[in-house]
């Protein structure tokens, strides 16, 4: 099993400023995890996404504004989202890497893909940068796949809800969007009731869980709800918004996952879907050691080369109740 990794040197030049949690060190931590995992890593350089491809989910005026803002030296879009002159190229290649992996995996039968996308993407809206994100890397590739008639499941295990991804694709019945995330928490949306919103009933699945939720409840929600729904949806592609800020050591969230939990989540995806039609892309994750080790377990889980540990954390009772509530809503649309 090979892991095709897409990255670009510009990801290290996207300057968010001193002491910003979304730093170039994150890329280096992911790279260390890839060196440590012992798998056959095939590196490709992420190309620049084309403007026409960006425009499948972003307004042309917004794309032009990002380019101009960076060309003038950058600055802050909000208190979280900062860019420099080099951020324009980094944003183009962050999005381009995900699509390059889709095209690369079409010709491979024994490989899976991981995009080291920096800046991350799942908070980016059609006309707004937010939450460290400029372009919505995963939504762009999903929309391009949909334009070719293929069905896509997006699985988002970042600690924060992928509000941008849901807003861009939530009305398309050919896209299944699933997010398990801390609630209440930034960006303060991603509600269970969204399953009935818009034109695509049943294909937007949010599983909000309280602070303190650990791997036991994540594994239960994933195994009893997420995986059965994905199997019934029968996607052509599974795209994973692989954020690792739900880790117990990450200071930007209040969840309690361990590195092996991410490996377990990845392994269950690999059990039900061809891994040469799975692409994971980096979202959050700000504790560098946790990011490195979670990269190791995620890649091993996708590759199916080693069983993940059954040992995990114990959640408060409220976490189980939250999953029960989500399950009742999901059961109105799917067999779970």
Q: Which residues in 74-102 are b (16+ Cβ under 10 Å) and which e?
A: beebeebbbbbebbbbbbbbbbbbbbbbb
| Per-residue DSSP letter, 130 | B
Tokens 């992996």 label which residue? 101
Task: Single out the residue of 181, 230, 233 nearest to residue 210, CA to CA.
Answer: 181
Query: Is residue 123 annotated as part of the catalytic site, yes or no?
Result: yes
Helix locations, the chain, DSSP H: 25-36, 51-54, 60-71, 87-105, 137-147, 163-169, 215-221, 227-233, 259-272, 288-303, 317-330
Instruction: From the candidates 58, 123, 247, 273, give the one annotated as an active-site residue.
Output: 123
- Count CA atoms closer than 13 A to 157's CA, side-chain side: 33
**Could you tell me if 258 and 215 are in contact, meaning their C-beta atoms sit under 8 angstroms apart?**
yes
CA dist., res. 242 & res. 120, Å (int): 10
Residues in a beta bridge with 38: none
**Could you tell me if 239 and 98 are in contact, meaning their C-beta atoms sit under 8 angstroms apart?**
yes
Residues in a beta bridge with 280: 114, 240
Q: Is 186 exposed, middle or buried (0-12, 13-18, 19+ CB in 10 A)?
A: middle
Looking at the chain, the number of H-run helices and the number of E-run strands are 11, 10
Report the catalytic residues.
123
């Amino acid at each position: 099993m090979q892991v095709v990794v897409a990255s670009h040197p510009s990801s290290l030049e996207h300057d968010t400023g001193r002491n910003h949690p979304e730093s170039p060190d994150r890329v280096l931590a992911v790279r260390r995890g890839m060196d440590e995992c012992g798998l056959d890593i095939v590196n490709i350089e992420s190309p620049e996404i084309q403007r026409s491809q960006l425009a499948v989910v972003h307004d042309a005026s917004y794309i032009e504004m990002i380019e101009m803002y960076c060309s003038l030296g950058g600055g802050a879009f909000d208190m979280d989202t900062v860019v420099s002159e080099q951020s324009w190229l980094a944003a183009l290649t962050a999005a381009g890497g995900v699509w390059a992996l889709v095209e690369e995996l079409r010709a491979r039968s024994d490989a899976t893909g991981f995009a080291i996308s920096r800046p991350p993407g799942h908070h980016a809206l059609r006309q707004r940068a937010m939450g460290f994100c400029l372009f919505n890397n995963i939504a762009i590739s999903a929309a391009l796949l949909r334009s070719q008639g293929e069905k896509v499941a997006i699985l988002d295990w970042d600690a924060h809800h992928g509000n941008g991804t849901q807003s861009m694709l939530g009305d398309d019945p050919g896209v299944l969007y699933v997010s398990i995330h801390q609630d209440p928490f930034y960006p303060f949306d991603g509600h269970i009731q969204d399953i009935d919103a818009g034109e695509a009933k049943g294909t937007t699945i949010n599983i909000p869980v309280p602070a303190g939720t650990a791997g036991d409840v994540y594994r239960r929600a994933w195994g009893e709800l997420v995986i059965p729904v994905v199997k019934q949806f029968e996607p052509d592609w599974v795209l994973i918004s692989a954020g690792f800020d739900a880790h117990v050591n990450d200071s930007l969230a209040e969840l309690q996952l361990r590195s092996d939990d991410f490996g377990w989540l990845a392994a269950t995806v690999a059990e039900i879907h061809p891994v040469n039609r799975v692409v994971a892309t980096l979202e959050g994750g700000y504790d560098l050691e946790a990011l490195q080790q979670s990269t190791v377990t995620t890649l091993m889980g996708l590759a199916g080369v080693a069983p993940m540990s059954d040992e995990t954390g114990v959640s408060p009772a409220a976490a189980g109740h939250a999953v029960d509530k989500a399950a009742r809503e999901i059961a109105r649309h799917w067999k779970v």
